[in-house]
Amino acid sequence: MTNLSISILNVDNLSEFLENVKAIQKELSKSKVENILDISIHFDVMDNKFVPNKGVDIEKIKLVKEYGFYIDTHLMVEKPVEDKYIDRAIEYGCKDITIHYEIDNFDSAFNYLLKKKKENNLKIGVSLKPNTDIKVLEKYIKNIDKILVMSVEPGFGGQKYIESATTKIQEIKEKYKNVLIQVDGGINDNIFNLPIRAGANSLVVGSFLTKSKENLKDKIAILNIIENIEKMPKEANLDFEARTLQVVDGGYAKGDILLGIKIPRLRKLAKMWYNIISLDTLSFFISSDIHDYRRFAIFSLVNMANSDNKNEIKNFIDENINHINNWDLVDSCAPICIGKLNLNESDKKVYNMLRKYTKSANIWIKRIGIVSLLYFAKSNRKELVMKVLEDVFYDEYHLIQKANGWVLRELYKANPKDTLKYLIEKNNYKKLPNILKSYATEKMCIEEKNMLK
């Protein structure tokens, strides 16, 4: 599993923060979720010389050790040996120390660190600034445990991720296959997947986590789920998916990103996580350009629909309806999260609710209104089904015709006589759309089909 190394550079109350992280870690470990991120604490130690900042007090290593966290210390200092930073980190209990290649006395500092590695069973690392070429590590690599790729200029938290860091990670992964790769700087939920895909083993995350007490659990959950999705085997046929979902030039889903993850894997992941995450967590995934992320959000939402939070789910769908924008997302979500959840409501209330969807000019919102009828059709709520379909019955768009036919097929299975009569009346008024007719009559016998000719 990928290591999540939390930078405490911008933490105000360290003890409180560590308590919260520990509690979240404990809750996740007791749940049914698998492949949880390994969490450690990252110390950004600075001397106001190598970088213009003071960083974290190195003595706080002792406090973090009391909470049982693994610690990795990043020394952004000009003289790590002479100013005793290496010695003090070891004295306070750190077993993982990284120095910068760019310091003036790098060779002597590295040799000293190598000596301390042998004496104290340390892991040692070398950090590279964004513009430093990985070739500089060639002569040292056999003695390096970790390469820390800076994805911002070192010194301050809250900076923007430098995209060239992703390429550097890939180059290190290819050139130095056995070294651990850590990346530090500007990493948040929107960036977290990039270093993982490139081959990073450890991601340092700071401001994204440390500046939000109230939703720390949600944010740690998001990073865990991203890591799980990104590490899943890419087994699906991408060409087939791109065609069926229209992720092609000129297609209605142009711009979507497909990872190639098979649906059963995403369903399984959603089933593991849905009861320990919030709708706020799903807001990130359902709004993503990555189609697999949106699928995960929908599958989680479907699982959540079995609980007693009907109004919250309905509000969530309304707030995010523009992200439910392909037939697979609509057809997985609407029957359960709208239809089944409202089975006990009156026909009038359901009609007023669904008509807001079917009157929309947005094709996917319109389809949501239609496929939400599936459970009502199965329950033989024929008056409701037929009334809702009035707005869309002769719609020329093939995806709407398919949805109408699908609902009518289910109504026929529950009430063959009245459904056939309804279709005959509609056909007499105006010829049935071909796709609707094909789906609606699928379970009919030859004699019944002939009545519609």
Q: Could you give all domains of the chain from N- to C-terminal order, each with its CATH number? A: 3-231 (3.20.20.70), 238-451 (1.25.10.90)
Q: In sequence order, what E strands does 217-260 have? A: none
What is the set of active-site residues?
A: 44, 184
Asked if the model's pLDDT at residue 35 lies above 90, the reply is: yes
Bridge partners (DSSP) of residue 335 are: none
pLDDT grade, residue 32 (50/70/90)? confident
Q: Report percent pLDDT > 90 for the chain.
A: 93
Q: Model's pTM, two decimal places?
A: 0.94
pLDDT value of residue 309: 79
Average pLDDT of the residues in 262-273: 97
pLDDT value of residue 213: 66
Task: Provide the mean pLDDT of the chain.
Answer: 95
pLDDT grade, residue 453 (50/70/90)? confident
Asked if the model's pLDDT at residue 372 lies above 90, the reply is: yes
Separation CA 33–CA 386 (nearest Å): 43
pLDDT value of residue 159: 86
Average pLDDT of the residues in 397-420: 97
Write out the DSSP string of 159-208. PPPPTHHHHHHHHHHHH-TTSEEEEESS--TTTTHHHHHHT-SEEEE-HH
CB burial string 81-108: b at 16+ within 10 A, e below: beeebbebbbebebbbbbbbbbbeebee
The CA R_g of the chain, rounded to the nearest whole Å, is: 28
φ/ψ (deg, to 5) at 180: -75, 135
pLDDT tens-digit map of 71-111: 999 999 999 999 999 999 999 999 999 999 999 999 999 99
pLDDT tens-digit map of 339-368: 999 999 999 999 999 999 999 999 999 999
pLDDT value of residue 336: 95
Average pLDDT of the residues in 398-418: 97
Asked if the model's pLDDT at residue 308 lies above 80, the reply is: no
Q: Report residue 443 as tokens.
A: 């379970």
pLDDT value of residue 52: 87
